[in-house]
Amino acid sequence: MSFIRNILKNSRSQEDGNFFLQLQQTLGFKPKKKNLYRKAFTHRSMNIKDEKGNPINYERLEFVGDAMLGSVIASYLYGEVPHGDEGYLTKMRSKVVSREHLNELGKELNLIDLVISRIPKDNFGDNIHGNLFEALVGAIYLDKGYKFCESFIYKRVINPHVDIEKLEGKVISYKSLLIEWCQKEKKTFDYEIYEDTGNDALKHFAVKLSIDGKVVSKGRATSKKKAEEKASKRAFFAFQTQMAKHS
């Protein structure tokens, strides 16, 4: 039995070594509190608990990382755009830390390769990439402190990706934009979920967007929110000229 235990122990040790080697190559520094990074890449489907019965997964670290990103980005924008009022700064920060952008950052670092889960990686939606990125930022903050984490965010987020002029013109929610226009122009609008007949492995939702009683666009995605956004984006481009005239 001791022979088998030693084999299992050595196997786990080798697995840990590979994990932290890959992580170090991704991050460019050596983690100190290794348990934090293990937690940052453990999905809740593993159903692991510590000795006090608390769940071990990345969700709490995701919360910390979200706060850190918001804090550092807010400070950067405050210094970089002295003319921006509170509403402007809030909107710009939302664009930098949008779910879409965080997903792109997670994909850029191939964080999905490090995740430990009972769910096949092909079955995850896009948001897993952004969730892991936030959890990683949370782990870095708790491991290395504020200044080190701030430097990481500058290196991975602000310096390569934050362009104030481009961000000002970036739309983060076509649905919000379209609803605002409809309300301003006193047009009725309706998002209707209808039966999806696709044969995809992942469940999809289909949406019809009607304006003034006429179907103007459709969207299909893995969530209702995404399907509505897709339909809104198509409608936005269809009505772009009219919207520009009345903006």
Which residues are part of the catalytic machinery? 66, 134
Residue 218, classified by CB atoms within 10 Å of its CB into exposed (0-12), middle (13-18) or buried (19+), is middle
Give, as one character, the DSSP assignment of residue 206: E
CA atoms of 214 and 228, how far apart (whole Å): 16
Do the annotations mark residue 131 as ligand-binding? Answer: yes
- The C-alpha angle 132, 106, 34, rounded to 5 degrees, equals 45
Do the annotations mark residue 80 as ligand-binding? Answer: no
User: What residue has token string 């290196």?
Assistant: 155
Give, as one character, the DSSP assignment of residue 123: G
Do the annotations mark residue 18 as ligand-binding? Answer: no
Token pair belonging to 150 = 């701030």
Instruction: Tell which residue, 127, 65, 74, has the closest CA to residue 96.
Output: 74
Question: Binding-site residues, please?
Answer: 62, 131, 134
Question: Binding-site residues for Mg(2+), please?
Answer: 62, 131, 134
